[in-house]
Structure 1
Amino acid sequence: MESATRPCVLVCAGLDPSGGAGIQADIEAISAQGAHALPLVTALTVQDNNAVREVVPVDAGLLLRQAVVLADTMSIHAVKIGIPGSRENAEAIAGIIRMLRVRRPGLPVVLDPVLASGRGDSLARGDALAALAPLLALATLVVPNLPEAAALGISTTGADLPCPHVLVTGGHADGVDVVNRWFSAAGAREWRWPRLRGEFHGSGCTLASSIAARLALGDTMAQALELGQRYCDRTLAHSYAIAPGQRIPRRIHS
């Protein structure tokens, strides 16, 4: 019989009504790893599987109150952060992390530094880059794609890391393989995955959340990165369509 309890991952991310990215993607990916997601919705959005038209942040005080209630009841083993939606929300999330780390020092925090949708649509009210500033220093792992890494000033050689671990994903580069590079104080490592045809909605959410879940389950960072990437690649290989354009990763039973 399966264990009666699962480790919990606190997730701070936006709600995508198409169901392809954001909080739904996070919940599905975390559940698929055998962990349990505690979702805090940072923003409501108007979007489909291809474009974001509007982002409405929720109240920062509400996020804090939700987190306090959860932390008082449940043991949180990891945190995954997507779009904060606003600078105020980012500061509230930073406060939540500091609170949780008093109770669990070394709590792993995975930050998916989403600055824009795949089509370039803004995903925060105001300056999306500034909204991430309070969170970078608290992250255990940041998972940017190449444009995000450039915007954040993260070198693709691993110099001057903003946090202990960085995984730069190479989906925006050319070539027959997607090359993902992990940088840490211990050195660098890369993975190569055959490039799949098509475009996908929510691949970054899927990857970051699956890694956070693996860390919550007790994997080392190397194990979490390996298994998270394998899972994400499988969801993309078995993706499905809900409308023309970007496909949806098959995160459940993939």
Structure 2
Amino acid sequence: MIPRILSIAGSDSGGGAGIQADIKTITMLGGHALTAITAITAQNTLDVSAVMPVPPEMVVAQIDAVVSDIGVDAIKIGMIGSPDVAEAVAERLAALFQGREIVPIVFDPVMIASSGAVLADPATIAAFGRLMSLSVLVTPNLPELAALAGVSALADEGAQVAAAIGLVRDHQAAFLVKGGHAEGPKLVDRLVGWNGTVAEWSGERIESRNTHGTGCTLSSAIATGLGAGLEPEAAITRARFYVRSAIEAAPGLGLGHGPMGHGLGREHFRSKPSLRI
């Protein structure tokens, strides 16, 4: 059966991130996308001009509607919108899926858009704890990792890994620390597992302004792999290659942080038989 992937996230009117990026990614990787929209944003490549959270009961109603009929093989959680929505989603998922081995959940703790707009206030971030504890994998970038760990900055690799290990211990979820905000020509992502092991993926940094939605795309790609039965490291490897392919194929739209080429990068991605399932 085609993997059924539920994205619980906000809507991006510019089509580069959020639910729109998730639907494109899940579809390109062979899954069927289901959605529960948590917030509506008015945004483009330059900024986010307005945000309207969806009421918690409506978010839960969307989840219930698709789970009860179509079913779900994996879940990606992105922008939450408000602390009330965070609590309602955590409560519903805990009731529906008692035990994270039943349906893997990937949580991308979205806090700031590529344009710099704040998408999660301190109260919403404080409510992330239960969502992390429900997840098999959390995918913060470096500023998000620092915020989750309650520190102002993470100066080096050692501090980053130590912060992730602390969060792994607290929430019993693996953490994929994305290195895009670090300096240097190499980009390194580190997976800190439940037993403290660290796996690394590295590659040359792609110099591009068209990186809007990379985090959304990566997390939904990983969720699609997990929903299709891939082991976590294989799902991450495939997802990273898809993200890089989409950046390289970006159509160059807008005046700011442009969207990636989710569909345009498909042929490059499909040229790697070892990454197909």
TM-score by length of 1: 0.92
1:99 aligns with 2:95: yes
- Per the TM alignment, residue 201 of structure 1 is displaced from its structure 2 partner at its CA by 0.7
1:96-175 aligned within 5 A: 96-102=92-98, 105-124=101-120, 127-153=123-149, 156-157=160-161, 158-160=164-166, 161=168, 162-175=171-184
Percent identical residues: 35
Name the amino acid aligned to 1:196: I
Deviation readout 1:222-254 (Å, 9 max, x if unpaired): 111111111111111111222112121111141
1:176 to 175, 178, 185: 185
1:13 aligns with 2:9: yes
Q: 4+ residue stretches of structure 1 with deviation over 6 A?
A: none
Deviation readout 1:173-205 (Å, 9 max, x if unpaired): 111111101110241111111111123110110
Name the amino acid aligned to 2:175: V
Tell me the matched-pair count.
250
- Greater CA drift, 146-155 or 57-66: 146-155
Deviation readout 1:71-120 (Å, 9 max, x if unpaired): 11122111100111011111121123213314984311001111111233
> 1:232 matched to which residue of 2?
243
> 1:191 matched to which residue of 2?
201
- Per the TM alignment, residue 164 of structure 1 is displaced from its structure 2 partner at its CA by 2.4
Matched position secondary structure for 1:55: strand
Deviation readout 1:41-60 (Å, 9 max, x if unpaired): 10011211121122110011
> 2:62 matched to which residue of 1?
66
> Aligned in 2, Cα 1:125/1:188: closer, same or farther, shift over 3 Å?
closer
Matched position secondary structure for 2:222: helix
**Which runs of no fewer than 5 residues in structure 1 stay unpaired?**
none
> 2:256 matched to which residue of 1?
245
- Per the TM alignment, residue 66 of structure 1 is displaced from its structure 2 partner at its CA by 1.9
**Which runs of no fewer than 5 residues in structure 2 stay unpaired?**
151-158, 266-277
Matched position secondary structure for 2:57: helix
Output the CA distance in 1 between the equivalents of 2:101 and 2:176.
22
Q: Alignment RMSD, CA only?
A: 1.8
1:28 aligns with 2:24: yes
Name the amino acid aligned to 2:198: A
Deviation readout 1:118-152 (Å, 9 max, x if unpaired): 23311136634124233111111000111101111
Name the amino acid aligned to 1:119: S
> 2:53 matched to which residue of 1?
57
